[in-house]
Structure 1
Amino acid sequence: MKGSVVVCSLVAFLALAFSFASAYDPSPLQDFCVAINDTKNGVFVNGKFCKDPKLAKAEDFFFHVNPGNTANPLGSKVTPVTVNEILGLNTLGISLARIDFAAGGLNPPHTHPRGTEILIVIEGELMVGFVSSNQDNNRLFTKVLNKGDVFVFPIGLIHFQLNVGHQNALAIAGLSSQNPGVITIANAVFGSTPPISPEVLTKAFKVDKNIITYLQKQFWYNNS
């Protein structure tokens, strides 16, 4: 009997110790943690320093989003609203972006390494899609969206939006991170600094080296 009690106690202790080692608070432990760049008067939390909550003000939670200028090679403009734009987003695990499209405008294939995206079409007609991972045989999920339609792009997967209408289009994207990041595929592969070795790219894409050289010499526009 005594041995059983000892064993049960040991199991309980190990379970408690494991929970301390592997668990964490899934949400903030205070109302807000407004980011601040002052390292002397702030506390470092999850990538940012936080000001004293008593010094927070309404402006810390406010940002005005203007329509994006789509007069560029892609015909689109992404205006992010992350913790860099609204300091009060720090630790809240959410952000958004406004995406403006000219007729035929494209938000090219890209990924958000730290956030799932949910997109709602405000105006226009968009063809959207994402590609699953190698594990799922890189399946393409695509759909044409109209005003009021909503679509989800899972975290980390390559996705895109193309304006297939004849008028300007507008969409708003919500993201599950205060700083979801973005990797535009063509920019990263062909516009890296310094360039990726042509030997690597010719073998990866199974094309002539001259094609890779041509692509690396192009100007890869950043629309965000």
Structure 2
Amino acid sequence: MLNKISLEHILFLDIETVPEYEDYSSITDDKKELWEQKSQYQRKEDFTAEEFYERAGIWAEFGKIICISVGYFHLKGENRTFRTTTFHGEEAALLKEFKNLLNGHFSASKYLLCGHNAKEFDFPYIARRMIIHRIELPYKLNLFGKKPWEVPHLDTMELWKFGDYKHFTSLKLLAHILGIPSPKQDIDGSMVRQVYYEEKDIDRIINYCELDVVTTAQVFLRLRGDDLLEESEIKKV
């Protein structure tokens, strides 16, 4: 079934997020109370709300997107390239740029969005942050009234589940067991907040995010039974 989808009709993506503010003391008192309530179940008695705030980036209500990396295939005869680019900067601006990409180049019904665990995280996170910034949702992210088979989203983690809803597999693990070469990354997801706020090195984060987009595309190729991308086929634009 996956082989019936043209690779050129898929936009692969990944996002990186951080807490909305650099530290807990910057939050208003009313939002501190809301954060304490929201995080109570996960932190239990092990952490105070302040100590747990460094993880706030995983919730769209308390975090923000610092970059969206995308990748897409370009096929010409037997030759193929996989092109990546990243939107970054002030959140509202990067969200508008991403929306313009969707509306300008990927709005037709034949196009699909694909990420790893994206149905649970990336897609809803982007949509929520757009609504918070009063940005009208692009068609590809507006799921209101759509039937399940009308949702234009693919998820490599969901594809790997084969109907097992209890199963979670990280992108790193899935790439390893599928024999996909592990990209050389100098950070992981747990370090993004520190690199962004303390080291102020957005380029490291962008590189990490784009490598995850490439790995997601590689996983999709393996699930289809296709040859993996060679390094020479991957282009940054």
Q: How would you bin the TM-score normalised by the shorter chain?
A: under 0.3
Q: Which structure is higher in helix share?
A: 2
Q: Taking structure 1 as the reference length, what is the TM-score of the superposition? A: 0.25
Q: Which structure is higher in strand share?
A: 1
> Radius of gyration: which is bigger?
1
Q: Taking structure 2 as the reference length, what is the TM-score of the superposition? A: 0.25
Higher relative contact order (CA 8 A, sep 6+): 2
